[in-house]
Chain A
Amino acid sequence: MRRTELLPWLAAAVVLAGLTVPWFLWGTSTVVAGLPVWLWWHVGWMCLASAAFWLFAQRAWGIGIETAGDGSSDGSRDRTARGTGPETGGERR
Chain B
Amino acid sequence: MNAVGIQLSIIVGYLLVALAVGLVAYRLTDRSAEDFYLASRTLGTVVLLFTTFATLLSAFTFFAGPNVAYAQGPEWILVMGLMDGIIFAVLWYVIGYKQWLLGQRHGYVTLGEMLGDRFGSRWLRGLVAAVSLMWLFPYVMLQQVGAGTALEALTEGAVSYAAGAGLITAFMILYVVAAGMRGIAWTDTLQGVFMLVTTWVALLWVLAAVGGPGAATEALASNPDTAGFLSLGSDYYTVQWILSTAITIGFGVAMFPQVNQRFFAAGSRTVLKRTFALWPVLCVLLFVPSFMLGTWAAGLGVPMPESGNILPAVLAEYTPTWFAALVIAGAMAAMMSSSDSMLLSGSSYFTRDLYRPVAAFLGRDLSERREDLIARGGVVVFASAAFVGSLLRPAGLFELGEAAFSGFAQLALPVLLALYWRSITRAGITAGILASQGFYLSSLFIAVVPGSYAGWTAGIVGMGLSLVVTVAVSLVTSPAAEERRAIYFDQLGAD
Q: Are B86 and A16 in contact (CB under 8 A)?
A: yes
Q: Are B85 and A46 in contact (CB under 8 A)?
A: yes
- Residues of A within 8 A of B (CB-CB), count: 51
Instruction: Give the interface SS of chain B, mostly helix, strand, loop or mixed.
Output: helix
Q: Are B278 and A50 in contact (CB under 8 A)?
A: yes
Closest to B292 in A: A35
Given A17-B82, A47-B281, A68-B493, A89 and B213 touching (CB < 8 A)?
no
Q: Are A46 and B269 in contact (CB under 8 A)?
A: no
Given A17-B90, A28-B231, A47 and B280 touching (CB < 8 A)?
yes
User: Among the listed A56, A69, A87, which residue makes an inter-chain contact with B494, where contact means beta carbons less than 8 Å apart?
Assistant: A69
Q: Give the contacts of A68-92 with B (CB-CB under 8 A).
A: 68-69, 77-78, 82, 84, 86-92
B490 within 8 A of A: yes
Closest to A30 in B: B230
Q: Which residues of A contact B281 (CB under 8 A)?
A: 46-47, 50
Q: Which residues of B contact A62 (CB under 8 A)?
A: 97, 493
B197 within 8 A of A: no
Closest to A84 in B: B495
Closest to B283 in A: A46
Complex Cα distance A20/B250, Å? 14
**Interface bits B62-100 vs A (CB < 8 Å: 1, else 0):** 000000000000100111011001110110011001100
Q: Which residues of B contact A92 (CB under 8 A)?
A: 40-42
B179 within 8 A of A: no
Complex Cα distance A64/B495, Å? 17
Q: Are B284 and A43 in contact (CB under 8 A)?
A: yes
User: Among the listed B74, B104, B279, which residue makes an inter-chain contact with A39, where contact means beta carbons less than 8 Å apart?
Assistant: B74
List 29 A-B residue pairs with CB atoms under 8 Å apart, sorted by A's residue number. Answer: A27-B232, A28-B231, A33-B214, A34-B216, A36-B217, A38-B78, A39-B77, A46-B85, A46-B280, A47-B281, A49-B89, A53-B89, A53-B276, A53-B280, A54-B277, A57-B273, A57-B276, A64-B420, A65-B101, A67-B489, A67-B493, A68-B491, A68-B492, A68-B493, A89-B42, A89-B104, A89-B268, A93-B41, A93-B107
For the complex of A and B, list the 7 residue pairs with the smallest distance between their C-beta atoms, beginning with the closest: A34-B213, A68-B494, A66-B493, A29-B231, A57-B273, A54-B277, A89-B268
